[in-house]
Structure 1
Amino acid sequence: MASSFSSSSSRPLTDRVAIVTGASRGIGRAIAVHLHSLGAKVVINYALSSTQADLLASELNNASSSSELQAVAVQADVSDPDQVKLLFEKSEQVFGPIHILVNCAGVLDPKYPTIANTALEDWDRTFNINTRGAFLCTREATNRLVRGGGGRIILISTSIVGNNLPGYGAYAASKAAVETMTKIVAKEVKGTKITANCVAPGPVATELFFEGKTEETIKRIVDACPLERLGEPKDVAHFVGFLASDAGEWINGQVVRVNGGFVV
């Protein structure tokens, strides 16, 4: 990919186009903002939060020194193949060939049920968005990134896959499947100059993390981290930015736990 695009040390993603799913808030939002700061044109995908997504697109466009459009919000349910296809088509219509996919859309059951107490509809919803959504977005990306001369597929997993906490059965299982799929995709796209990796955050201070947790639970999680704090969305976003750049080209087929040592 390095030979196909112009870049600079301060804005290494200049002339590249990135789709970030689940980008209206949380980690996805931070990733979209950071990739934009590195020079990328960003497609902000959202499912429901149209106000937040539109506002973010407006903020990124207003912050840009260029007169060209730099960010656009596009609604799509990542579990729906037709909507995923339309997401990529709209992105190409606005910006041209796609170079980067960051699949950040995901759900977590805030009731934290045991496997025995997990409702079938909650299990299915988790897999539909987390696993089916990652598959559909990855499938579309592998067939489109080649048009831009290669690129990056970056899927967001979770460090919980590494420590198997009770109450996260559906969530961890759905992400473990994504990690395995990523490793296989990295091999299947040989010769395309596309890389595929998973970024697996630990506890990050987002709405998704805080929902359903008591203060005591949060304190216990913080105490378990060697750096004695929760992660911030920017901690994950900065690493995603590295993977998306030419500097991250030699990292391929990997699951990288970005968690401050919470899970090793």
Structure 2
Amino acid sequence: MRKMAQFKLDGVAIVVGAAGGIGREVAFTFAEAGVKGMLLADVNAEASAEVAEQAKSLASNPAYTYLSTRVDATDVTSVDEMVDLAVKTFGRIDYCINAFGVDVAEYVPPQQTTLEDYDRVLGINTKGPFLITRAVGRVMLSQEPAQADFGRLGLRDIGRGSIVNVSSAMALVAVPAKAPYTTSKHAVTGVTKAAGIRVNQVCPTWVRTPMFEEECRRIPETPEALNKLSPIKRPIEPDEVAAACLLVGPAIG
């Protein structure tokens, strides 16, 4: 039986893309929120291991344990091995956050987009979340529902698990110079809606990550456009995206 306050976490989490700007903050936020176990995975195994060590120092759960691993989100065997490792180590999976993705190689009109870049972006940004949702979903559907003690609110069934896909505002609108990226994020919405289990999607606009810095380098007008289009007139910080993932994480069912 778990005892927890609203928007505090217990249980076990997988963070895929843990070495990235958003994934790193998700790992830190979930450790602070009280998860008792976490598997941090990324295509960059060394960087993922570093984030895992940093998250350990932030963990609020005295029973916290963790491990890190390399995963290729486009490869079904690699994904299945990651999920099997989590189950073997922790016994169950309560949360899975897909916080990885890549941008297009060139900002060009659709007519000039190469098939190689289209396949690369769709393979990582769309196939990856699908493979992970499929593998993690199997585990969540097979495990017993968890219960939590919300104090004055009493005991509640919090379900078998929750998956969060970190997507983009490009899941809702289009940018002609980024056709593969826009297509991939629209497709993530389809993966999220058709999952057959509880999956939420977070769709931030510009986030202060290396991808944003690269976009500013390629398109110097980006900060000016952001100032005009964004109510807060600045890029979103990665920890703010992580907070949104935390918000939808506890209400699992």
CA contact 1:113–1:167 (8 Å) conserved in 2? yes
Task: Tell me whether 1:6 sits opposite 2:2 in the alignment.
Answer: yes
Task: Tell me whether 1:244 sits opposite 2:249 in the alignment.
Answer: yes
Structure 2 gaps of 5+ residues are: 146-159
Separation in structure 1 between the aligned mates of residue 99 and residue 227 of structure 2, nearest angstrom: 23
Match of 1:235 among 240, 244, 253: 240
Q: CA deviation at 1:165?
A: 1.6
Q: If the length of structure 1 is used for normalisation, what is the TM-score?
A: 0.83
User: For residue 21 of structure 2, what is the amino acid of its counterpart?
Assistant: G
Instruction: Map Cα deviations across residues 214-235 of structure 1 (whole Å, 9 max, x no partner).
Output: 3432232233211111100111
Percent of pairs identical after alignment? 28
Match of 1:60 among 55, 59, 63: 55
Distance 1:212 1:242, change over 3 A: closer
Match of 1:197 in 2: 200
Provide the secondary structure at the position in 1 that maps to 2:194: helix
User: For residue 57 of structure 2, what is the amino acid of its counterpart?
Assistant: N
Separation in structure 2 between the aligned mates of residue 234 and residue 61 of structure 1, nearest angstrom: 17
Task: Tell me whether 1:30 sits opposite 2:25 in the alignment.
Answer: yes
CA contact 1:115–1:167 (8 Å) conserved in 2? yes
Separation in structure 1 between the aligned mates of residue 91 and residue 212 of structure 2, nearest angstrom: 35
Match of 2:40 in 1: 44
Q: If the length of structure 2 is used for normalisation, what is the TM-score?
A: 0.86
User: For residue 205 of structure 1, what is the amino acid of its counterpart?
Assistant: R
Task: Tell me whether 1:130 sits opposite 2:125 in the alignment.
Answer: yes
User: For residue 86 of structure 2, what is the amino acid of its counterpart?
Assistant: S
The CA RMSD over aligned residues, in Å, is: 1.9
Moved over 4 A (4+): 65-69
Separation in structure 2 between the aligned mates of residue 84 and residue 148 of structure 1, nearest angstrom: 22
Separation in structure 2 between the aligned mates of residue 66 and residue 133 of structure 1, nearest angstrom: 30
Q: CA deviation at 1:10?
A: 7.3
Instruction: Report matched runs for 1:19-168 at 5 Å.
Output: 19-40=14-35, 41-48=37-44, 50-64=45-59, 68=63, 70-146=65-141, 147-149=143-145, 150-168=160-178
Provide the secondary structure at the position in 1 that maps to 2:239: helix
Q: CA deviation at 1:98?
A: 0.6
Separation in structure 1 between the aligned mates of residue 30 and residue 59 of structure 2, nearest angstrom: 13
Separation in structure 1 between the aligned mates of residue 14 and residue 60 of structure 2, nearest angstrom: 21
Aligned pairs, number? 235
